[in-house]
Structure formats: structure tokens, C-alpha cells
Amino acid sequence: MPALNDWVAQVAALTRPSAIQWCNGSDAENEALIARMLADGTLEKLNEQTHPGSYLHRSHPDDVARVEHLTFVCTTHHEDAGPNNHWMAPEEGHAEMDALFDGCMQGRTMYVIPYCMGPIDSPLSRCGVEITDSPYVVANMRIMTRMGAPALARIEREGSFVKGLHSIGELDPNRRFIMHFPEELMIKSYGSGYGGNALLGKKCHALRIASHQARSEGWLAEHMLILGIENPQGETHYVAAAFPSACGKTNLAMLIPPEGYRNAGWKVWTIGDDICWMRPGADGRLYAINPEAGFFGVAPGTSAKSNANALASIQKNTIFTNVGVTADNQPWWEGLDNGQTPVTDWRGNAYDATKGPAAHPNSRFTVSAKQCPSYSPKAEDAQGVPISAIVFGGRRASLVPLVFEARDWTHGVLVGAAMGSETTAAATGAVGVMRRDPMAMKPFCGYNFADYFSHWLSFDTDGAKLPKIFHVNWFRKGDDGKFLWPGFGDNLRVLEWMIQRVKGEAAAVETPIGALPAEGALNLEGIALGDEAKAKLFGYDRAGWQAEFSSIGEYLDEYGPRMPQALKDEQQRIAGMLAG
């Protein structure tokens, strides 16, 4: 394909690698790559008996998380990037990056990775090519995308692809940028080997660039898990849910029903744990695919208790990044609770609990989704799965109840737009600060949030059969500072109520903030909730919500004249009901 060949030649002339390797995705290619990384210390082999085919990678200690302050969206007009993004003019962005890329691959191999985000034959999928000098990136992209010859064939057939150029550079935090050029469908990333900054198919393409593509093509690219809930009658409803990082997305995507539900015949199917692309179907419903082929999950806290399916998924053929290691060379992280102790920490030093955790708080595992016990074969369906409900949620210790349902689509978009959560270790900066994170897309929306909200609102057309929208908060705390809701598998109780609401079967109490479960409508069998828990999980604090809606109004005003009037009117409507 001339356009691809020309671009590869241009990049090679700029970066001056010692060799160029076009990646075909084959087993033989992967084995040779792994052997090379074992030889130079990029990877370490883990215990072949306990974790066959698995490896440890240690990244540079200054390169362990997304760097939102160094991530730019380069659009012709500043206002198109919006106040939610750092902006740079495209010509300035290219000049800045090309100066960094000049000669940066000397002595290194340049890998050309054709990949497809989504099932290879799906009309909802989109292709890209990442050029990188990191074999670690190649190995991860092979797990996370449909990478290699089939993707190249589709690119040649379609003639279009997202261009991604990456170099680890010198891993200098002062020479590190991730630049997006949505109008050119291009990404340039320099100076980081960390997943979200280096695996360009992931957040860079599948969210920042794809959100721009989705707006122009009439679909949605969202930071959402997708799961299927099969009831004892054999009906499966699919739910898409948006949560900021480390708010339980992977746990919910791989949820194991409580024993009573399992015995009754309930099943939960995993379609995806992080990204969801949705498009209206011929019948007016939204259909979704998971554009990824693997999981890039947070290791700490993953245990047999918190997420048995995730733990089962990563017992073989897994790349672990920045975890600790036990004496017999098994991966280890805080919260694993397997009775073992680490001897080496994520930096490769002798483990000393007084000097910090064994695993970095944002340490990761990369594994094929097909290894998950709850993986759904429907994840490969070209047409996607029909979405019955969309769920927004964050980490809120106070105010926000366990679950409520939006009155209609416009209210639901406001619920997503106003979503707040306390920050976690997945992003650099302070932990535990409440920030608004609309649709969990604050770090990932590739254009102005005001235009993004307008795009969401545009789906409410005649004939549309849109999903119901809900908000959840698994993290409400009591006066003693402890969580009031057990979470994990018991979250299925909340999902069951949602599905019954979709079917018009469950009772609810209408309030200004939305519909709350009526007493007895949520199955609480086997859960002991005290009076305080019930009041806080299923009630609402009018005075607290008055302050919240005042804050939401101020937040919407930050986006200026582009903010859709419909959302401002909805905020005013609810604020008025709360005042009344």
C-alpha cells in the first residue's frame, strides 16, 4: 500500500534505525522477540511451573503511569480541543516531536505493527499502524489488538489507518510527550515505555483518536466495560459501564455471581473491561464491540476474593509489569493474599516493607481476553452486542447513593457529564481528590467536552431505542469510614434491578436526582445492612444535592458557549426541583 510504505520510509529516514521489521503477528516472530528481550534483560522469565509462558518487565522508575500533563491534542483551532485537553498547534506539535524523533532509533530495530481494533471482520472495527523501537510494545500489542497479517490485509483493502509513531527515546521525563493529531488520524509518543503512553492502540487510538472519528462518523468511542448478564430464563442483557481507573471496572466486567444467584442459574459474561465502541443498529438500538483483544489490568488488589476470574486469566501467557517477585520466581503484588511473600520489589531491589510496596500501585498484567473464564464468544461478533443499559459510576465516599436511574436520555447525559470521582494511582498527581470526570473520559476525550456532550445528545432521535442510563456508587462510606456496600459479586444485585427496570418490572421511587430502588425492589437476601447503610445507600440528602447541583452548574459553565443548552436546562430543572 503506497501510503503506508511512504510513511514507513519517511519515519525511517527521520529516526534512522539500524533495521526495520514488519510484524506479522506469528508465533515464531513472537518467540524470537521474547528470546531477544530475555537476552538483554527487558524481560525476566517467571516460574514456568506456576506461570507458564509468563514474563516480568520492569519499567524505568520515572515511567510508571499516564502523564496527562504531557499529553496534547493538536487541532487547527484551539477551541476544538476544548478546556479538557492540553492543546498545541499542529505545526508546532509536529516540529516539537520530529526534533525528538530525529535519529532516535539509531542502533535499534524499528518495528512496524499493523493492527485492528475490534474483530477483524467487524464494520465497527478500525485499523492502525504503530511504528515503535520497543520490542516490549510489540509483545503487548500482539496481546491487546488483532495484530499482524490479517490487519495489514484489511488496511490494504480499506486504504485508511491511524498512524502511530512511538519511541522510548531516553526515558527522560523532561523529554516526554504524547501528541495527538485527530484531524490527521495521527499519534506521536516519545520518551515513555509505559502502557497507556506506548501501546498506542489503547487510550491514544481507541479513545482519543477514535472519539474524534466517532463524532464525525456517528458512533461513540467510550471508556467503558461491556458485560453480559444471563438470567435463569436464558435471556442475556448487555451493559456498558464507565468508571475512572481503579474504581472496579475489571472486577465488574469479570463479576462472579453470589452463590445464591449462581445456584439459581445466573451467569455473567465478559465482553470487555476497558473500552467500548457503540453504533446505532438498523433496529434503533446501540450495538457495541470491545475494540481490544486483551486486558491491561491493574495487578494490586487482584485476588481470589476480589476477582477470581482475573486471577485465573493470568496464570499463563501473561506479561507482568512492575510487580514484585517471590523466592521461587512467582509474580506478587499487594492484595494477592496467597500466603507468599516477595523477595524482590518492582524496582528489582531486595524487598523491604519499610521502603514501600513490593509492586508499584499501578503495576499491570497484559493477557489475552480469551483466557478469562467468563469471556464471551459474543466478543468476536462482527455486529457487536445490543446494549440494554449504560452505567456511570465513580468513587464517592459521601452523598451519592448506591444506584439511581436517569429520567430520560438528556438527564442521563447530564449524569455522565457531572460524574465525580476521587483520584487514584493510575494517573500522576495527588490521590483521593474529588474531580469531575465526565463519562470517565476526562483524560481520553480527543475533542472539546461541550461538543462531546452535544454528540451524546444527538443520539436521541425518532425511532431510537436507547439504553436506560444509571449511576452507581460502590464506595459510599459510613460515619466510621468503612464501606457500607459489600461490592464485588454482590454488585449483581444492582445490575439485576437495572435489567428489571429496562424490562419495566422493578419498582422505584422518583426523586429529583432520579429513580431510586423502592424498598424491597433490590434483592438483599443474605446481606446484613444496618439502618445507617440503608439510609445512605438508598436515600438522598436534599441539602447535599442542592450544593452538588450548584457545583454542577458552575462546572458546565466552564465550557463556555459551546455547552449544549439542553444540559444547562436539565441542570436548572433538577436544581429547581431540589430547591422546591
Q: Report yes or no: 376 and 351 within 8 Å, Cβ to Cβ.
A: no
The Cα 132–Cα 148 span in angstroms is: 14
Q: Report yes or no: 324 and 344 within 8 Å, Cβ to Cβ.
A: yes
The model's pLDDT over 112-148, given as tens digits with 9 standing for 90+, comes to 999 999 999 999 999 999 999 999 999 999 999 999 9
Mean pLDDT across 395-403: 95
The rounded percent of the chain whose pLDDT value lies above 70 is 98
Q: Please, which residues have CB within 8 angstroms of residue 383's CB and are 6 or more apart in sequence?
A: 122, 123, 124, 281, 287
Domains in the chain, ordered, with CATH?
A: 2-43+70-217 (3.40.449.10), 222-293+377-539 (3.90.228.20), 295-371 (2.170.8.10)
Half-sphere exposure of 116 (CA within 13 A, CB side): 25
555 has binding-site annotation: no
248 has binding-site annotation: yes
250 has binding-site annotation: yes
297 has binding-site annotation: no
136 has binding-site annotation: no
Q: Report yes or no: 97 and 187 within 8 Å, Cβ to Cβ.
A: no
74: pLDDT strictly greater than 90: yes
The model's pLDDT over 334-362, given as tens digits with 9 standing for 90+, comes to 999 999 999 999 999 999 999 999 999 99
- Can you say how many angstroms the Cα of residue 99 is from the centroid of all Cα atoms in its chain? 31
**Mode of pairing for the β-strands spanning 468-472 and 403-405:** antiparallel
Residue from 23, 74, 116, 247 carrying the catalytic annotation: 247
pLDDT, position 432: 67
pLDDT, position 429: 63
What would the grid cell of residue 465 be? Answer: 431505542
251 has binding-site annotation: yes
Mean pLDDT across 264-285: 97
pLDDT, position 67: 83
274 has binding-site annotation: yes
491 has binding-site annotation: yes
> DSSP label at 109?
E
179: pLDDT strictly greater than 70: yes
Least confident piece of the model among 81-85, 347-351, 425-429: 425-429
- Can you say how many angstroms the Cα of residue 486 is from the centroid of all Cα atoms in its chain? 23
The model's pLDDT over 185-214, given as tens digits with 9 standing for 90+, comes to 999 999 999 988 999 999 999 999 999 999
Mean pLDDT across 149-171: 97
Least confident piece of the model among 96-110, 412-426, 524-538: 412-426
The Cα 323–Cα 320 span in angstroms is: 7
Residue 272 one-letter amino acid = G
pLDDT, position 245: 77
For residue 118, give the 3-state DSSP assignment: coil
197 has binding-site annotation: no
pTM confidence score: 0.96
For residue 538, give the 3-state DSSP assignment: helix
Let me know if 247 is a catalytic residue.
yes
Q: How many residues does the chain have?
A: 580
Mean pLDDT across 431-445: 88
Q: Please, which residues have CB within 8 angstroms of residue 109's CB and are 6 or more apart in sequence?
A: 17, 18, 19, 20, 21, 133, 135
pLDDT, position 546: 97
Mean pLDDT across 481-510: 97
The rounded percent of the chain whose pLDDT value lies above 90 is 94
194 has binding-site annotation: yes
Is the torsion defined by CA of 431, 437, 439, 444 positive or negative? negative
pLDDT, position 426: 55
The model's pLDDT over 206-238, given as tens digits with 9 standing for 90+, comes to 999 999 999 999 999 999 999 999 999 999 999
pLDDT, position 428: 58
445 has binding-site annotation: no
Label residue 65 by pLDDT band (50, 70, 90). confident
H/E run at residue 545: helix 542-557
Q: Minimal CA–CA distance to 467: which of 415, 517, 509?
A: 415
- Mean of pLDDT over the chain: 96
72 has binding-site annotation: no
454 has binding-site annotation: no
Label residue 580 by pLDDT band (50, 70, 90). confident
Least confident piece of the model among 88-92, 177-181, 248-252, 276-280: 248-252
